[in-house]
Structure 1
Amino acid sequence: MKIFLDCEFTQLNRDSKLISLALVSESGKEFYVELTDTYAVEDCSDFVIHNVLPQLDHSLCGQSRREAQASLRRFLGSFAEELEVCSDAPHWDWGFFCDLACADHQPWPLQVVSQPTNLTILFNQVSAEALEQVVLVDPPHHALLDARMLAELCMALASRLVLSP
């Protein structure tokens, strides 16, 4: 089963810190968490301050890093089938996913494939005609909404590829 990953983080540099993480499965199951203790506003770029932070709702989705780790492991454990984690930015998102999934020396979740699928490589292989039929909008810079959008895009493209001669 494909599971689509998106993260929001403080800045585009190696010192970035995780703000939120979302997973959306092909079956529709979702995981979303906003971390409450991993960053400060001062860690964030101006872009993140203006576009990401205003969309957060810690009262509904906020968890400490430790709580988020346990929640993520429970979510992953709810699947019986193998999970292929797909991301359009694995060079950023995969590290955050791994840190949360295996924190405190937890073993790797057995049902999760140990390498991500890079969706940008897959998108580059899709014909221009298939892409033209899909309406692309600017991502909302909210991890859950972006993960949903990735899932919808991939499923739409897959259905067009299957139907194409």
Structure 2
Amino acid sequence: MKIFLDCEFTQLNQDSKLISIALVSESGAEFYVELTDTYSVESCSDFVIQHVLPQLDCLRYGQTLVEARVSLRRFLSGFDEELEVCSDAPNWDWDFFVDLVDVKHQPWPAQVMNQPTNLISLFSQINTEALEHIELRDLPHHALLDARVLAELFNTLVSQLKVSS
């Protein structure tokens, strides 16, 4: 089963800190958490301060890093099938996912493939005719909403490819 990953983080550099992470499965199961103890507003880029932080709801979704690690493990253990983690930005999102899985202290989750699928590469292999019928909208810079958009885009493309074959 494909599971779509998206993250929001403080800035585009090697010192970046995770702000929020979301996973949306093909079956519709969702995981979303906003971290309350991994970053400060001062470490965020102006873009993140203007576009990402105003969308957060820490009272509803906030968890410490320790709590988020437990929640993520619980979510992943709810699947029996093998999970293929897909991201449109695996060079960024995958490292945050791996850190949250906490492989330094626990074994890798058995049902999760240990490398990401790059959605941009996957989408570029899809018939351009199928892509013509898709209206691409800007991602809202909210991890859960973005992961939902990626899942929806993938499911739409797969269904169009089935219809055209």
Higher alpha-carbon deviation: 58-67 or 118-127: 118-127
Q: Deviation of residue 103 (structure 1)?
A: 5.0
Q: Is the 8 A contact 1:69 1:103 kept in 2?
A: no
CA RMSD of aligned residues (A): 0.9
Gaps of 5+ in 1: none
What are the within-5 Å matches in structure 2 for residues 34-53 of structure 1? 34-53=34-53
Structure 2 Cα separation of the partners of residues 156 and 104 of structure 1: 37
The answer as to 2:32 corresponding to 1:32 is yes
The answer as to 2:145 corresponding to 1:135 is no
Q: Deviation of residue 127 (structure 1)?
A: 2.2
What are the within-5 Å matches in structure 2 for residues 74-153 of structure 1? 74-102=74-102, 104-153=104-153
Opposite residue 78 of structure 2, the aligned amino acid is S
TM-score normalised by structure 2 residue count: 0.98
Aligned pairs, number: 165
Q: Is the 8 A contact 1:5 1:24 kept in 2?
A: yes
% same residue: 70
Moved >2 Å (runs of 4+)? none
Higher alpha-carbon deviation: 67-76 or 126-135: 126-135
TM-score normalised by structure 1 residue count: 0.98
- Output one character per residue of 1:17-56: Cα deviation in whole Å (capped at 9) or x when no partner: 0000000001110000000000000110000000000000
Instruction: For residue 67 of structure 2, give the secondary structure of its aligned residue in structure 1.
Output: helix
Structure 2 Cα separation of the partners of residues 8 and 34 of structure 1: 9
Gaps of 5+ in 2: none
Instruction: For residue 115 of structure 2, give the secondary structure of its aligned residue in structure 1.
Output: coil
